Amino acid sequence: MTAYDPTLSETYRAIGVTFEDLWTRDRAMRDVLARARRAAGSDVTLLLLGENGTGKNLLAQAIHNASPRAEGPFVPVNCSAIPPGLLESELFGHERGAFTGAEKARRGKFELADRGTLLLDEVADLSREAQAKILRAVEYREFERVGGEETLRTDVRIVAATNTDIRARVERGEFRADLFYRLHEVTIEVPPLRHRRGDVALLAGRFLAEAARKAGRKAPALAPAALRALERHDWPGNVRELRSVLRRAVTACAGDRVEVADLGLPGSRLEPALVEPGDWSLAAAERRQIENVLELTRGRKKEACRLLGISRPTLDRKIEEHRIEWREDGAGES
């Protein structure tokens, strides 16, 4: 057989994940979660859409655990990771002697997920051939094992997920429309993090605490400028990226406060102050600019004055006025 080992973790339980584990304070995201929670109660087939790292897998587990099938298995299949030659036996199982190497009969994912939930993850990556093979199983919940004659039935709730634009694939003829219609009885679209910037502060705080706990240290604070840099970032990798940035920051941070530089975000140290949602005032922009520059100069005021093009008394006055948290990191002059 190949290096791919389907016997690794055959059945799964979505251990402990509930809707409470999906943190948000964003109105639109809350609506999405409320819809998902309602859908969890029925057996409808769900299609979860959303960019990389928006939380689709977490959501699928929460849905399973909130469903009447919570006591049954939760079986994820990563459709893009299964070599084409193994897909059929992986999904539907095989009989003994069905092919070289099939020394024992084996159940496939559809069978293993009986009375539970089957997550068809990265579903848009299935080849046309594979799509044809699973259509009947999705539609009628029946299939045969590879090399088997008997038609087996399974009682599964199907959740499919993808981070690609599956509708475009259907339009281009790359994804079967009939399968698509069976999969999206209800579609749940998880918004990208950049459309719910209000969640950045909430998630950052929690991930920071989590990373610090794992590292066995006290959670550092997040410098105001660091938080603003996080809020400005576009997060192409969404929540997953935010989580790993904060893990890295906890390692990088020497003191008790995570600074912009600890985040390692591309370009964030030199980026001009951008207005954050909700506060477009000139005063707010000025405050941010001063904070950024102080961050950049690691708190050295002389250097900050030069960059800002203002005198020292003006800078001191503005620091007072805007109540800017200021601290000098570097040794040497102030």
Ligand X SMILES: Nc1ncnc2c1ncn2[C@@H]1O[C@H](COP(=O)(O)OP(=O)(O)OP(=O)(O)O)[C@@H](O)[C@H]1O
The pair of three-digit structure tokens given for residue 10, joined into one six-digit string? 């055959």
Closest approach of Cβ 306 to Mg ion, in Å?
48
Q: With respect to Mg ion, which residue has the nearer C-beta, 55 or 93?
A: 55
Binders of Mg ion among residues 28 to 57 (CB under 5 A) are: 56-57
Verify binding: residue 58, ligand X, rule CB under 6 A. Answer: yes
Residue nearest to ligand X (CB): 55
184 binds, among Mg ion, ligand X, none (CB under 5 to 8 A by kind): none
Verify binding: residue 55, ligand X, rule CB under 6 A. Answer: yes
117 binds, among ligand X, Mg ion, none (CB under 5 to 8 A by kind): none
In 10 A of CB 81, how many CB atoms?
Answer: 11
> Which strand (E) or helix (H) includes residue 27?
helix 27-40
Q: With respect to ligand X, which residue has the nearer C-beta, 53 or 220?
A: 53
* 222: nearest Cα among 234, 240, 206: 206
Closest approach of Cβ 308 to ligand X, in Å?
38
Closest approach of Cβ 63 to ligand X, in Å?
12
Cβ-contact 48, 227 below 8 angstroms:
no
> Which strand (E) or helix (H) includes residue 152?
strand 151-153
Cβ-contact 315, 304 below 8 angstroms:
yes
* 191: nearest Cα among 4, 13, 30: 30
65 binds, among ligand X, Mg ion, none (CB under 5 to 8 A by kind): none
The pair of three-digit structure tokens given for residue 322, joined into one six-digit string? 């805007």
The pair of three-digit structure tokens given for residue 69, joined into one six-digit string? 């099938």
Size of the site for Mg ion (CB under 5 A): 2
Which long-range contacts does 277-282 make (Cβ < 8 Å, 24+ apart)? 277/197, 277/198
Considering only residues 12, 52, 98, 248, which one is a binding residue for ligand X as defined by CB under 6 A?
52
Closest approach of Cβ 32 to ligand X, in Å?
10
Considering only residues 47, 50, 82, 137, which one is a binding residue for ligand X as defined by CB under 6 A?
50
* 123: nearest Cα among 90, 82, 94: 82
Q: With respect to Mg ion, which residue has the nearer C-beta, 57 or 61?
A: 57
Q: With respect to ligand X, which residue has the nearer C-beta, 210 or 271?
A: 210
Q: With respect to ligand X, which residue has the nearer C-beta, 56 or 64?
A: 56
22 binds, among Mg ion, ligand X, none (CB under 5 to 8 A by kind): ligand X
Considering only residues 124, 200, 239, 250, which one is a binding residue for ligand X as defined by CB under 6 A?
239
* 224: nearest Cα among 181, 276, 283, 178: 276
Residue nearest to Mg ion (CB): 57
Binders of ligand X among residues 243 to 282 (CB under 6 A) are: 243
Considering only residues 45, 57, 67, 297, which one is a binding residue for ligand X as defined by CB under 6 A?
57
Alpha-carbon gap, residue 289 to 272, rounded angstroms: 7
Verify binding: residue 53, ligand X, rule CB under 6 A. Answer: yes
Cβ-contact 323, 283 below 8 angstroms:
no
In 10 A of CB 163, how many CB atoms?
Answer: 19
Cβ-contact 169, 124 below 8 angstroms:
yes
Verify binding: residue 163, ligand X, rule CB under 6 A. Answer: yes
The pair of three-digit structure tokens given for residue 237, joined into one six-digit string? 């990798």
Q: With respect to ligand X, which residue has the nearer C-beta, 242 or 319?
A: 242
In eight-state DSSP terms, residue 54 is: S
Interface with ligand X (CB under 6 A): 22-24, 50, 52-58, 163, 239-240, 243
Which residues make up the interface to Mg ion (CB under 5 A)? 56-57
